[in-house]
Amino acid sequence: MFPVLVKLGPLTIHTYGLMIAIGMFAALQYLRKGLLSSGVPENRVLDMALYAIIAGLVGARLTYVALNGNYYLYHPVEIFKLWEGGLVFYGGFAAGIAAVIVFVRRTRELRLWNVGDVCAPALTLAHSFGRVGCFFAGCCYGRECQLPWAISFTNPGSLAPIYILRHPTQLYEAVGTLALFFVLDRQRRGLHAEGTTFGWYLISYSLLRFIIEFFRGDDRGGAVMGLSPSQVFSLFALTAGIVILWFRKKRVM
Q: Is the pLDDT of residue 219 over 90?
A: no
What are the DSSP calls for 36-103, one per residue? HTTT--HHHHHHHHHHHHHHHHHHHHHHHHHHTHHHHHH-GGGGG-GGG----HHHHHHHHHHHHHHH
Q: What mean pLDDT comes out for the span 181-208?
A: 94
**What is the model's pTM?**
0.89
Domain span at residue 70 reads 4-251
What is the distance between the alpha carbons of residues 158 and 151, in angstroms, rounded to a whole number? 13
Q: Is the pLDDT of residue 251 over 70?
A: no
In the chain, the number of structural domains is 1
What is the distance between the alpha carbons of residues 128 and 61, in angstroms, rounded to a whole number? 18
Compare 239 and 90 and report the one with higher pLDDT.
239
Please measure the distance between the N-terminal and C-terminal CA atoms of the chain and give it in whole angstroms: 52
Q: How confident is the model at residue 17 (pLDDT cuts 50, 70, 90)?
A: confident
- Amino acid (1-letter code) at residue 244: I
pLDDT of residue 171: 97
The pairs formed by 112-116 with CB atoms below 8 angstroms and a separation of 24 or more are 113/194, 113/195, 113/198, 113/248, 114/35, 114/38, 114/194, 115/35, 115/48, 116/194, 116/195, 116/197, 116/198
Compare 91 and 219 and report the one with higher pLDDT.
91
Q: Is the pLDDT of residue 194 over 70?
A: yes
What is the distance between the alpha carbons of residues 120 and 70, in angstroms, rounded to a whole number? 34
What is the distance between the alpha carbons of residues 13 and 178, in angstroms, rounded to a whole number? 25
**pLDDT tens by residue, 152-191:** 999 998 989 999 999 999 999 999 999 999 999 999 988 7
Distance of CA 216 to the CA centre of its chain: 16
Q: How confident is the model at residue 216 (pLDDT cuts 50, 70, 90)?
A: very high
